């Protein structure tokens, strides 16, 4: 690694990015940037920097997870604060990008909120954005500033390669057609078979899974997705592969959103292990499933990306062994 630039590289933490930012700084052997986030009695966010950032390369880490609007507003205010303090370059590090699912007009009279959020981040003063496993890779094109789209695939692959012998005969199952490319990448790199489920979504919560294309009988099934939100898709897929003879089911995702009935559905499902990353702070949300959930750190991956951006080095080199980016 190139020598760390302790004078000109600064990493700041928003409320939802505090643990990640600390771990990133530990990896880079940097002190965490000094800044305070507080709230006025009416809920307004106030950000104050406690050190000089003039002419420096600044990164602010913040996932726009629940509470989504509060965390988004805090990120925008942090960026504005850095801009007005004359930072040379401001990069928003957004491990989980909220509103990513609102990326198109799938019916009349609805917004494209992902584009709106991209505009807000750029307008606040960000010069660059780092995201991880966007729900739709084309969201990169919504930004008028450079976007580095990272993937947690290297982190997840390291885990599964470490237990590959224990898995035995194994099939990677794509829970929907749109995820086939990702599933195929994992199947190739883990030397597994591939199967696909035909999923039809009737509404936001109503999902029907009818057909399974591929062989899972007597095999361990692995399922990968960018996020687990309400867990309806992943749990329905797990039940289907068990009906078709799978002996074990493990699920993995980058973003453990896990809202609504997700915890109960996962608790009632045949999924034996749920592998996630810490792109979203758990805040003890996983306690009901702590025997099944394994959380993998992505701080080193993000820290390496920050280091490479600061020194004008290639980001894509980080992902050559993982088959590239998500899509």
CA 297/CA 200 separation, integer angstroms: 33
Going by C-alpha positions, the residue among 205, 208, 194, 212 that lies closest to residue 236 is 208
For the segment 32-66, what is each residue's pLDDT rounded down to a tens digit? 999 999 999 999 999 999 999 999 999 999 999 99
pLDDT band of 322, cuts 50, 70, 90: low
Task: Catalytic residue, from 10, 115, 161, 199: name it.
Answer: 199
Token pair, residue 243, equals 């009906």
For the segment 166-185, what is each residue's pLDDT rounded down to a tens digit? 999 999 999 888 889 999 99
SS3 content of the chain, % helix, strand, coil (to 5): 35, 25, 35
Residues in the chain, overall count: 327
The pTM score is 0.94
Residue intervals of the chain classified under CATH 3.40.50.2020 are 9-151+299-322, 153-296
pLDDT of residue 2: 64
CA 2/CA 192 separation, integer angstroms: 37
Instruction: Determine whether 290 is an active site residue.
Output: no
Q: What is the CATH number of domain 153-296?
A: 3.40.50.2020
Going by C-alpha positions, the residue among 181, 94, 106, 82 that lies closest to residue 130 is 94
Assess whether pLDDT exceeds 80 at residue 6.
no
Among 3.40.640.10, 1.20.1250.20, 3.40.50.2020, 3.40.190.10, name the CATH number for the domain at 9-151+299-322. 3.40.50.2020
pLDDT of residue 184: 95
Among 6-10, 43-47, 140-144, 205-209, which stretch is predicted with the lowest mean pLDDT?
A: 205-209
Among 28-32, 221-225, 263-267, 282-286, which stretch is predicted with the lowest mean pLDDT?
A: 282-286
pLDDT of residue 57: 98
What is the chain's mean pLDDT, rounded? 93
CB 81 within 8 A of CB 38: no
């Amino acid at each position: 690694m190139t020598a760390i630039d302790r004078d000109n590289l600064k990493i700041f933490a928003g409320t939802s990015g505090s643990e990640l930012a600390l771990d990133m700084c530990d990896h880079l052997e940097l002190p965490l940037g000094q800044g305070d986030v507080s709230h006025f009695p009416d809920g307004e966010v106030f950000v104050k920097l406690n050190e000089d950032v003039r002419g420096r390369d600044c990164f602010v880490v913040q996932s726009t997870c629940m509470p989504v609007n509060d965390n988004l507003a805090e990120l925008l205010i942090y960026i504005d604060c850095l801009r007005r303090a004359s930072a040379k370059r401001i990069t928003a590090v957004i491990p989980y990008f909220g509103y990513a699912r609102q990326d198109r007009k799938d019916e009349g009279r609805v917004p494209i909120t992902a584009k709106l959020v991209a505009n807000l981040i750029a307008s606040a003063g960000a010069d660059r954005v780092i995201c991880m496993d966007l729900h739709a890779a084309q969201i990169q094109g919504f930004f008028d500033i450079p976007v580095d789209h990272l993937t947690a695939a290297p982190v997840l692959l390291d885990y599964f390669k470490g237990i590959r012998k224990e898995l035995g005969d194994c099939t990677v199952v794509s829970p929907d057609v749109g995820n086939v490319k990702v599933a195929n990448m994992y199947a190739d790199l883990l030397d597994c078979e591939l199967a696909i489920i035909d999923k039809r979504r009737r509404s936001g919560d109503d999902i029907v899974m009818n057909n399974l294309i591929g062989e899972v009988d007597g095999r361990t099934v692995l399922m990968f997705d960018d996020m687990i939100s309400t867990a309806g898709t992943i749990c329905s897929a797990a039940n289907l592969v068990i009906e078709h003879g799978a002996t074990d089911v493990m699920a993995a995702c980058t973003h453990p959103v896990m809202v609504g009935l997700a915890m109960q559905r996962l608790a009632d499902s045949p999924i034996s292990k749920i592998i996630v990353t810490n792109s979203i702070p758990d805040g003890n949300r996983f306690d009901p499933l702590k025997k099944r959930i394994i959380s993998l750190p992505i701080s080193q991956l993000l820290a390496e990306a920050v280091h490479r951006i600061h020194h004008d080095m290639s980001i894509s080199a980080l992902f050559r062994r993982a088959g590239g980016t998500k899509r």
